[in-house]
Structure 1
């Protein structure tokens, strides 16, 4: 009697085939970017274009022969875990922060700017969807998916769209969130091209939009440090990096599972089920980041005590892991969109409105902020922030590279070092994500609180103008 699986069963190959389709779509998209000038000038990332290609092919196959190209559950799983694993890899890097006062101020102001943009996106998103609830009977809190999709990206858009769908009955909420994130990438490309063309007319920008990057400037020191573990020993160095990432992620899972067990006891009442559980599982990336930092601290402590002799983490490899995870997350998130949801007017009208308004509001708000808060590198700050606050950090880097190809301004550093401040100031907003969808009245209360927080963030941003000393 034989047991186990047969190697020719489809289930044995399904995940491999899914990954091949995702990676193959990105390679095809990358070839299209490099060979078709129009696509290159639009500056759409290969992962985004690859996701749209898969979405289109899946739609055709479904309509023509009734076959789905990829299992939607697998795509959603990759989106969810890609976000968490990518953040863990970034947290495990050993990046030395600049110590000059100017750099610290820039990262602080950038973090506050990021939170202020989340808030203004949430405010306008909620105004639109609460109003449409009375007209179309659409889901009143769906506007909060605007900062999740535009500001945070596909991972968070999926997490909260899925949560709203399961917990609060928001039909097609998962696709709504993912579509907002996908439209964010389009907005980043369109807005970035418009801004660069405005700079060209003013004579500030003279380069070619979408030009190829040829200088990597890689050195042996940038790939591996002298005090790190060898590249190949009894265990490959890259295997060690992956092990550290997954250990941190599973430790976070065990912590989240422990919190969930407490919620299941009913000790926290409805607050536990309606607020705590969605927050814990929705912010897997944040909890995972904390455990990655704890693991990094443990390794640092063991080295100081002489228990281990070398550094186990490698920045170059962790960057590659993070890049891979985020690429897979983006391409999977777009391919996971259910196009059937677009047949419902209560889905497409709110979606179209918040995406267009979100792009316009973000564009013009950042014009004001960057001119006043970042006067020394106004244009570089705008490109990096607009790209990040409609797409992801990588989209911001793509736009920034057009104006500052060698990253000579502080704008690129700000994207890295702003995260601590953004988490600190943005935490109150995170709590509201599980509160607003409980009822229309609670969404209106949330809108008022968001407005107050937005005013506070702007007072902090413009503190130099508001509280400047009068010259005698």
Structure 2
């Protein structure tokens, strides 16, 4: 039985680092005042221990798969969550808000790729280092898409085009993206909350927020029991619902993979679209359909939305810890200077873009700006974690907008994600800049159209200065 414990202990290490991170946040004044999430502290600690070899028998690669699956679970559980009994703050604009998030992300995808590629070209010209510019191009997949896609495309470029260390550099960019998202996003969220700019006033900078734990008499209810514990524990029941969705998604992908085989109409590899690397996307669709069936059948009383929200939040925490623990120190050290230059340039451009476009989106603009920055620097899960600071109980429409956004970006970026991204090194420099830069410019041109269609009530009750902000 000993051989079966490796994966279980890897998960236990993730959970343990998360607990230690929570204690550090609670006990160390610096971390408490900076509002550093426990998942970041735990992930950095795990990364340090692995890099020093102080966790015998484990390597960064042991945590990559866990990271991927927790990211998937976080959004499947979110889509299985209903609307709740109370209307969401800012309700009525889920599609429109989702379109704004989609525009921001799509523009960032193209812009970040261009910046990463050009920064490495400039670095090589000045130093003669000979670093592949395609490693810089990977930043957009690490930042906007996260570790799963960064590993996927990096691995393809490494195996098919000989781009050395591409998979690991993609993972490093994904990990640095998480750090940047919180290093910049947490102070930004703190500023918004301190100024009262968040719609959900349940999120405020009180002692519980800073400490990271609730005082005994102020602890809110986590959820309601649906199943009787004498028959089935309610948490196990809700995890079971997600398990059903997971199995259905897996069977669907296997069926489609067998159906399409090696079909490549118009040169498009459909196998990529139905690969397990995109499990989360298909899982979202399955969960949306499951929830629709549950509601239409009058079975909503058998699902507790608060329990599903807690599963979502827990999955995000585990995902962040796992991503940071997946970094290989040796590759990071060897390419430290060009990686940092790309990261700084992309972070600055992304911050300016997300703040500007997010605030143009109208009501809930500050929430969208912060969420978009998290999505464009880490992954959608990171955006969700930052949003949780301004919308602690997910009472606004932005979490639902994120679900719409996850489906919409596949449509708006289909040509990049499934046609050009797998073969980027074959495009050549000008071809790459044309595809990625052209996409960013095309969607930037849609912003004025969105502003003309902005609801007249978006700024009702606010001063002109507040609406402009």
Q: Verify same fold: TM over 0.5.
A: yes
Distance in structure 1 (CA, Å) of the matches to 2:81 and 2:193: 37
**What SS does structure 2 have at the residue aligned with 1:141?**
helix
Partner secondary structure for residue 337 of structure 1: coil
Given candidates 126, 149, 152, the residue that maps to 1:156 is 149
1:425-454, CA deviations, whole angstroms, 9 ceiling, x for partnerless residues?
A: 23333124534434251x532321222222
Q: CA deviation at 1:362?
A: 0.7
| SS of the residue 1:439 aligns to | helix
The whole-number CA distance in structure 1 between the counterparts of 2:4 and 2:344 is 43
User: 2:157–2:423: 8 Å Cα contact kept in structure 1?
Assistant: no
* Native 8 Å contact 2:375 2:382 kept in 1: yes
Residue 361 of structure 1, CA deviation: 0.5
TM-score normalized with structure 1 length: 0.76
Judge conservation of contact 1:129–1:138 (CA < 8 Å) in 2: yes
Q: Match of 1:333? A: 323
Alignment of 1:126-141 (within 5 A): 126-129=117-120, 135-141=128-134
Question: 2:466 is matched with which residue?
Answer: none
Q: 1:387, 1:397 within 8 Å by CA — same for their partners in 2?
A: yes
Alignment coverage as a number of residue pairs:
436
Correspondences of 1:315-464 after superposition (within 5 Å): 315-344=305-334, 347-374=335-362, 376-393=363-380, 395-400=382-387, 411=398, 414-439=401-426, 441=428, 443-463=429-449
Partners of 2:83 and 2:19 in 1: CA distance: 30
* TM-score normalized with structure 2 length: 0.77
Matches within 5 A, 1:53-64: 53-61=45-53
Q: 1:35 to 1:416 in 2, by over 3 A?
A: farther
Query: Could you give the per-residue CA deviations for residues 395-448 of structure 1, whole angstroms, max 9, x where no partner exists?
Result: 44554565566777665554454334333323333124534434251x532321
The answer to whether the aligner puts 1:287 opposite 2:287 as a matched pair is: no
Match of 2:181 among 188, 192, 203: 188
Task: Say whether residues 1:18 and 2:14 are aligned partners.
Answer: no
Deviation at 1:31, TM superposition (A): 0.8
Question: Equivalences for 1:23-422 in 2 at 5 Å?
Answer: 23-61=15-53, 68-95=56-83, 101-129=92-120, 135-192=128-185, 195=188, 207=205, 211-212=210-211, 214=214, 218=221, 223=224, 233=231, 237-238=237-238, 240-255=240-255, 257-258=257-258, 262-263=261-262, 268=264, 275-281=269-275, 282-296=277-291, 303=297, 314-344=304-334, 347-374=335-362, 376-393=363-380, 395-400=382-387, 411=398, 414-422=401-409
TM-aligned CA deviation for residue 32 of structure 1: 0.6
Distance across 2 between alignment mates of 1:378 and 1:106: 9
Separation in 2, partners of 1:289, 1:410: 17
Deviations 1:77-115 (A, max 9, x none): 223333334333333333479796545433322222222
Once the two structures are superposed, residues 346-383 of structure 1 have per-residue CA deviations (whole angstroms, 9 ceiling, x without a partner) of: x3343222211111111111232134333x44444322
C-alpha distance in structure 1 between counterparts of 2:187 and 2:238, whole Å:
41
CA distance in 2, matches of 1:287, 1:133: 40
Tell me, in whole angstroms, the C-alpha distance in 1 between the residues paired with 2:191 and 2:77. Answer: 37
Whether the 8 Å CA contact 2:157–2:425 is kept in 1: the answer is no
Please list the CA deviations of residues 450-472 of structure 1 after superposition, one character each: whole Å capped at 9, or x if unmatched. 2222222122222255799xxxx
Instruction: Flag the 1:280–1:312 CA change in 2: closer, same or farther, 3 A.
Output: same
